[in-house]
């Protein structure tokens, strides 16, 4: 499955939020933290942006959004975990 990483400007456009509001949402746990894609470049997996937008459209509460953010960030860690090299 292919997944794209969106830079800040497209994410803000898709969300209809300002830069300061977007980063405030991240601080408050209402949006996923960015992934580092370069020395000074970050982005967000498109599926995460879509999932959070869909939850907002569905009328989910802030607490439900926070739970979704935790789930998305946890899935991110599990999906990209390095396989162990030990052979037992």
Tell me the whole-structure pTM to 2 decimals: 0.85
User: CA–CA separation, 49 vs 15, rounded Å?
Assistant: 8
- The per-residue pLDDT for 78 is 81
How much is the pLDDT for 77? 82
Extract the tokens encoding 79: 């999906």
Distance CA 72, CA 31 (A): 10
| Amino acid 41: pLDDT | 96
Summarised one tens digit per residue, pLDDT across range 34-86 is 999 999 999 999 999 999 999 999 999 999 999 999 999 999 888 766 565 55
């Amino acid at each position: 499955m292919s997944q794209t990483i969106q830079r800040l400007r497209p994410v803000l456009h898709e969300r209809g939020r300002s830069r300061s509001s977007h980063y405030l949402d991240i601080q408050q746990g209402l949006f996923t933290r960015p992934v580092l894609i370069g020395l000074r470049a970050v982005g967000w997996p498109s599926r995460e942006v879509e999932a959070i937008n869909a939850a907002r459209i569905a009328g989910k509460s802030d607490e439900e959004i926070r739970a979704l953010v935790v789930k998305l960030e946890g899935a991110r860690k599990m999906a990209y975990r390095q396989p162990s090299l030990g052979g037992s």
